[in-house]
Chains A and B, each alone.
Chain A
């Protein structure tokens, strides 16, 4: 029973662990983007290593 509870708690915490955020000056954790409308096969942040990247989170509404 106890082990089941531990497992359940671990599974609940998994998304939090996966969503690590960087602070300024730190290495960015990798992130996978959904299919780009006009992509060229690069789909993760790590794929753009070697180029400066500007990210803009915006809304259509």
Chain B
């Protein structure tokens, strides 16, 4: 796992997604405590046990690399294959940038949508395509990506990452430009200017300072700081996130 976290640090901002699945039966609270205390700087997606549809293996660690088009590229022991995994990921990141597909149109569309995150540009390219199976497929990809981008704003707010939610909303507005989605996205961005959300953002700025200390493994003072943050009766999603972090730091992971 440390190698997966390291690779994620290096390549997440270029588009790599890392999913860490705990398979020894930890519940969410135990997993949260384990990650907060052992790997506090981990930004990968972390979850409790789940079926992963890769070739069966009796041992752990065990993992896989999935390509941009959803194909399984590699499966095996990640602890002994860090170089191979990075090589595969780097090749896929080139595809994200340049696009992929059977036609030049599909490659250009995907480079615009996935590589640049430009929804308006992708929609314009799509509009120029003739009706047919390719256009239907690419339209579905665009619709899904837009839906997920909207959902991301809501999901980040829901888990108390309001600052990140605001950034995601602004990115989305930029991505849609002047298009059919603009009127739908503008109110989403405007919500962050309301007083209750501004208060949440202010609380998160304080929480982020504590999180930074925890990430840098200077967590000794964090419980006291978290209690002080929550002392004033802070409520809402950010306060809940602070409570979860406090609980994670004070729980001895099994």
Contacts and interface: CB of A to CB of B under 8 A. Distances in A.
Contacts of A38: 43, 45-46, 159
B217 interface: no
The majority secondary structure among interface residues of chain A is loop
Given A56-B63, A58-B23, 11 more contacts: A20-B53, A24-B74, A36-B45, A37-B35, A38-B45, A47-B148, A49-B144, A52-B17, A54-B78, A56-B78, A59-B24
A50 B110 contact: yes
Interface string A11-48: 00000000111111111110111111111111001111
A47 B145 CA distance: 8
A50 B96 CA distance: 7
Interface centre among B18, B51, B93 (most CB of A within 10 A): B51
The majority secondary structure among interface residues of chain B is mixed
Interface stretch (B64-72, B177-185, B231-239): B64-72
A53 B64 CA distance: 8
Nearest to A52: B92
B88 interface: yes
Nearest to B89: A52
Interface of A: 19-29, 31-42, 45-61
B146 interface: no
Interface size bracket, B side: 35 or more
Contacts of B253: 60
A56 B107 CA distance: 29
A46 B147 CA distance: 13
Contacts of A40: 152, 155-156, 168
Interface centre among B21, B35, B45, B75 (most CB of A within 10 A): B45
A54 B32 contact: no
B174 to A, nearest CB: 18
A36 to B, nearest CB: 5
The 4 lowest CB-CB distance pairs between A and B, nearest first, are: A41-B155, A52-B92, A59-B24, A50-B114
A53 B78 CA distance: 13
A54 B50 contact: no
Contacts of B191: none
11 contacts: A19-B53, A20-B53, A25-B73, A27-B69, A27-B70, A34-B49, A36-B45, A39-B159, A50-B110, A54-B8, A56-B4
Interface in B131-176: 141, 144-145, 148, 151-152, 154-156, 159, 168
Contact of A28 (B24, B50, B53): B53
B68 A52 contact: yes
Interface centre among B31, B66, B253 (most CB of A within 10 A): B66
A51 to B, nearest CB: 5
A44 to B, nearest CB: 10
